[in-house]
Amino acid sequence: MILAAFLAVCGAWFGLANPVARLPLFMLLLPAGLAYLACRAETTRQAAKWAYWTGALTAAGNLYWTCLPVHDFGGMPWVLATPVPVLMGLVLGAYAAALALAWRFGAARLPAWLFVPYAAAAWTVMEMLRGTLFTGFPWLTLAGAFSPWPMAIQGAAYLGAYGLSGLLAALAAGPAVYGLFSRPTLAVILIAAGLAFLGNRRLADPVPKIAAAHVTIVQGNVDQSRKWAPEAEEETVDKYIDLSKRALSDAPSDLLVWPETSMPFFYQDGGHLAQRVRDFVASAGVPLVFGAPAYERTLGGHVLYNRAFLLAPDGRAAGYDKEHLVPFGEYVPLGQYLTFIGKLVEGVGDFKPGASAAPLRQGDLALGTLICYEAIFPELAQKRVEAGANVLVNISNDAWFGDTAAPRQHLDLALLRAVEQGRALIRGTNTGISAVIDPRGRVMAQGGLFTALALPCPETPIVSETTWYHRYYGLITWGLPALFALLGLAACLRPVRSRDRRPGGLTL
């Protein structure tokens, strides 16, 4: 049991992006280990305990970087900041325990040909719940580990990232429950081969683009500790304009993208700095996407937004306000009651969520905008494409997390949105990793971490065709949990199989 738990934790560490070595296939050791623990434990209580601590250690290890913004920008001493990933692990471990109990229950009652789809549906439901409850945190999505391998993630265009995670989990759980030389394992091998074949076929098919745009991302690498200092505002504007001018002198562009809150002042108020940005865009003749705080006056004062602006050369500006805010980073949940808790990071104040998913339009471009960690939520990208987006734009600022695995993990999750929706995704960040991803999940252009640069991508596809996942989003989103419930009901109606026929000799 100890070895299974150890291998599961290590597999998840090395499967996801980490500072040591990236081995995506190792990620399958996590569902394999959890399945083994669920079915080989002597009692149900023991299965839940082992799975819980495996899930808790997995989450804490992969989220080690969460203590950095709390210490570096939240002003907390290390003695209070260091336990943050541990506390997150203690919460997220509950999902692994619940999954193990579901798998144990199903394995004791269902035949193998039903247990494998049951296991897939159970993992899918677990990731869906983790991405929804308590504002949602779908960061450790199993499918995200395979983002460096485009062939392996094409299933997201049909099942979504959660559904693909479930399928991959079942491929690992089957052999762990029934043995390496069983019929279920043979079936799993055939399914995996089929997935690889379909992935290769989809990658070989041309992207059905209606046009292409030359996009240039400017990554300013502005020091987060000075970003909001009033004396640094002019320097920041200078930096972005200078980098952009140099990039445009090398090649013309159809769109410039600057990161989230790249302009650390209220652009909507006008003034000298806002005029400099407008003058630059007018003289360059290139539309610009950039981030800046914004506000709206109300009877009670004002409401703050984290806004993405699209500024056209003729001076017209449109905006998108971030819809899914970061708890304790951009607002304090239940802040009217928890008055003793302040935000953990610096900024201009408590933001409020926006309400519109409409794309920002310029010529052939309809930009579905995702700000910061909105890119990790499948439902938000779905809403953008439903509203008419033909390209996804993710502007972010991962400077909070330093030189850790977080920026790479964030990029891996954003990449899944491109595959799910069949849209190119332009990702502009302050300190990296900036990238342009094609609708098949292939990286077309990518910058480095903590370096100022301009990243051109001359052939960014503009696509109007939608994926199977997008068209049948409701069916998939509700159908997979329904499958889990149906197979769970079937398990309830079946007796526990005799001990010699039960995988692992389960004792319930």
Options 39, 67, 372, 457, the catalytic residue: 372
Sheet hosting strand 209-219, strand order edge to edge: 317-321, 301-311, 288-298, 255-257, 209-219, 453-463
Task: Provide the H-helix boundaries in 252-330.
Answer: 272-284
Neighbours of 493 (CB within 10 A): 8
Q: Could you give the CA distance from residue 103 to residue 122 in angstroms, rounded to a whole number?
A: 7
Active site residue 379: no
| Buried/exposed code over 108-141 (b: 16+ C-beta within 10 A; e: otherwise) | bbbebeebbbbbbbbbbbbbbbbbeeeebbbbbb
Quick one: angle between helices 473-493 and 112-130, nearest 10?
Answer: 130
What is the SS3 assignment for 360? strand
Active site residue 322: yes
Active site residue 67: no
Q: What are phi and psi of 299, to 5 degrees?
A: -65, -30
Helices and strands: H and E segment counts in the chain: 15, 12
Neighbours of 206 (CB within 10 A): 7
Query: DSSP letters of 111-139?
Result: -HHHHHHHHHHHHHHHHHHHTTGGG---T
Options 260, 323, 330, 420, the catalytic residue: 260
Query: DSSP letters of 397-443?
Result: -GGGG-SSSHHHHHHHHHHHHHHHHT--EEEEESSS--EEE-TTS-E
| Dihedral angle computed from the Cα positions of residues 204, 424, 218 and 401, in that order, rounded to the nearest 10 degrees | -100
Paired residues of 366 in beta bridges: 361
Displacement of CA 212 from its chain's centroid (Å): 25
* CA angle in degrees (0–180, nearest 5) for 500-501-503: 100
Q: Could you give the CA distance from residue 362 to residue 426 in angstroms, rounded to a whole number?
A: 15
Do the strands 391-396 and 425-429 form a parallel or antiparallel pair, or are they unpaired?
A: parallel
Catalytic residues: 260, 322, 372
